[in-house]
Amino acid sequence: MTTRENTTTLIGRIPIRHLSPQQPEGLWPAKAYVGEVVPFHATIFREGHDLLGADLELTNPEGKTVVHPLAQGAPGTDRWETDVRVDVMGMWTWRVRAYADDWATWLHAAEIKIEAGIDVELMFDMGIGLIDRALSAGRATKKTEILKEARAAFAARTTPAAQRLAAALDPRLTQALGTRRPVSLVTYSPTVTLRVERQRAGYGAWYEFFPRSEGAQRAADGSITSGTFRTATARLAQIAADGFDVLYLPPIHPIGEVNRKGPNNTLVTKPGDPGSPWAIGSAAGGHEAVHPDLGTVDDFAAFVAEATSHGLEIALDLALQCAPDHPWVTTHPEWFTTLPDGSIAYAENPPKKYQDIYPLNFDNDRDGLREAVLEIVELWISRGVRIFRVDNPHTKPVEFWEWLIGTINAAHPDIIFLAEAFTRPAMMHTLAAVGFQQSYTYFTWRNKKWELGEYLTELSKDSSAFFRPNFFVNTPDILTEYLQFGGVPAYKIRAALAATGSPTWGMYAGYELIENVARPGSEENIDNEKYEYKVRDFAAARANDTSIADYIADLNRIRRAHPALQQLRNLDVHWSDDDSILVFSKFTSGRHTPSGTSDGIIVVANTDPHAVRETTIHLDMARFGLTNGTQFEVVDLLTAERWQWGNDNFVRLDSFTHPVHILHVQYPKGHTA
């Protein structure tokens, strides 16, 4: 006789697998943001041919559970799905309930057998048994009478079989069964967590400027007087009017004097050179202080208050590094790396060298440095900052970020951290997994149709449970060849793709002015603003039509007006016959829009900034809520032109006039598919 140990099986009676959204290892919760429409999926199947049913049981942070029926996805995949708009910040939980749908299984067999005259009375007897189960499952109501009528019809053996079966197909009976529906083999999935953060964690338009350049004055001798928080305040109203939600400031702290960099990252400085804001710290203070040229802490508070009055949030750079004359270098030398010759290692990113910056060493005094950084972040939170753009987080231990973000968010759930980590995918994804609410991406370098299509699909589908992209079109350090040589068309194309491809996008000041001259041999602007002041006249450029600021304002206006563009996971790439014409759609069902009518956007972009392109595009209309073969009207939200479209459509995009269509699908009122 064989002895068998008791074994606990991991699979349920009805297998429920591949739950999403989830992080790959399940170590940290998946992410969503208030207002996001979250797709829930599970693979559900069983042996044999009996029919199944499934529900999503979703519990919000207040403990309220709502049941959402799951529908079968593509035939043959065993994927079940639904989408739900989440509306409360906090930790949600969810699980899937699967069951054998005894009623549906019986009805399917009954229709076939009774029509064929096979086991007719046996099938009706089985139906009576199911009705009896439903009657015993709850108290008597008005719907109970409908159940009794069906039972009586099934039992009426002198009535023609087709007439008796008709009672089973009565929509009133389906409705009456409701929660009494006879089911069996009920199986539950494990419970999964979903962290829902505030809306700005996943949706918004960012604008970056250097306060020292805003209102800077050039004297007759060429010297420049720094702008201040007070002079920078003058641009807040226009930035808000152009539809931006977040104003990102590079570091505003005192800048080191030792090894200060001159123009274009040179080691030679002259009086009046302001240095790099990322070389933080001097005799005037460190990360806790405000650069004296910009004003005082009170001036910063007034700046934040004025921004808030215009609906702008301030994002502050969190750069965990020090100039050689930062106070920490003297008070905490153990927080840095000392080389064999006794010197402190400065920052390098070969071939770039940053002699004006000392990186922090997070292993020499782990707890001491952690507490110092936490104190700095808490200080700026107390001064009104709710968003931090983190400089080079991939050069610090990931466990440090998990600790810092977790600690901050436990006390301040509304704080947002953006990871500026242009590095390997494993590091970028892990930073997002452990807590960063947003991440810079490779979008800047994805310029061809095929690579854009692949990347948009990856971000909106494969990694969307935890990695939230912020599509910055440029930075002080990034001026791609595409922008250097593409002229105004390239700048319009990239802005339109960023603003529609991701619910969060951003730009650095000067983009609207088509500042596209690079430092020879590099991928950054000549006379990089990191190392000097920029005296610009944005209003004059706008008046002289040498700015695309109005175009950018139109993009932000369109984003705010269309719920579909405020989502990430609803993007689908379609096909065109031209290697430079990218086509994608975004769709939000009327079940999730304020108007109750579906919102569908089709973006058609000529990614070649040097040419006119003509081609045919091919749409899978089910992706945006229409039946293939339907004729429908689209309106270009940039030009107000209208066309009648279908599955296959001719387009002509002239990069020198209108390189991108942003088309709004005209659904009938109340369309909710």
Contact criterion met (CB below 8 Å) for 310 and 237: yes
Burial class (CB in 10 A: 0-12, 13-18, 19+), 306: middle
Contact criterion met (CB below 8 Å) for 95 and 189: yes
CA dihedral 476, 463, 553, 549 (to 10 degrees): 20
Type of residue at 279? A
- Catalytic-role residue among 36, 102, 420, 572: 420
Burial class (CB in 10 A: 0-12, 13-18, 19+), 362: middle
Closest by Cα among 328, 224, 215, 324 to 270:
224
Closest by Cα among 195, 197, 128 to 417:
197
Contact criterion met (CB below 8 Å) for 429 and 467: yes
Type of residue at 551? Y
Distances (CA, A) of 352 to 321, 349, 477, 489: 16, 5, 12, 31
Query: Which letter does DSSP use for residue 189 in this model?
Result: P
For residue 354 the two structure tokens come to: 């940053």
CA 249, 254, 259, 263 dihedral sign is: positive
Contact criterion met (CB below 8 Å) for 465 and 39: no
Q: How far apart are the C-alpha atoms of 521 and 530, rounded to whole Å? A: 18
| Residue that the structure tokens 């509304």 belong to | 414
- Count CA atoms closer than 13 A to 137's CA, side-chain side: 18
Positions of E strands within 571-622: 571-573, 575-576, 581-588, 599-606, 612-618
Contact criterion met (CB below 8 Å) for 404 and 374: yes
Contact criterion met (CB below 8 Å) for 588 and 570: yes
Query: Which letter does DSSP use for residue 287 in this model?
Result: T
Burial class (CB in 10 A: 0-12, 13-18, 19+), 597: middle
Closest by Cα among 541, 564, 537 to 234:
537
Q: How far apart are the C-alpha atoms of 179 and 53, rounded to whole Å? A: 12
- Using the CB atoms, write b or e for 8-24: b if 16+ within 10 Å: eeeebebbbeebbbbbe
Element of type H or E holding 170: none
Contact criterion met (CB below 8 Å) for 273 and 247: no
- For helices 102-116 and 120-135, the axis angle rounded to 10 degrees is 160
545 catalytic residue (yes or no): no
- Kindly give the pairing relationship between strand 416-420 and strand 387-391: parallel
- Catalytic-role residue among 391, 515, 524, 532: 391
78 catalytic residue (yes or no): no
Query: Which letter does DSSP use for residue 437 in this model?
Result: S
Burial class (CB in 10 A: 0-12, 13-18, 19+), 200: buried
Q: Report the residue count for the chain.
A: 673
Contact criterion met (CB below 8 Å) for 245 and 312: yes
Neighbours of 73 (CB within 10 A): 14
Would you call 629 helix, strand, or coil by DSSP?
coil
Count of helix runs (H) and strand runs (E) in the chain: 16, 33
Catalytic residues: 391, 420
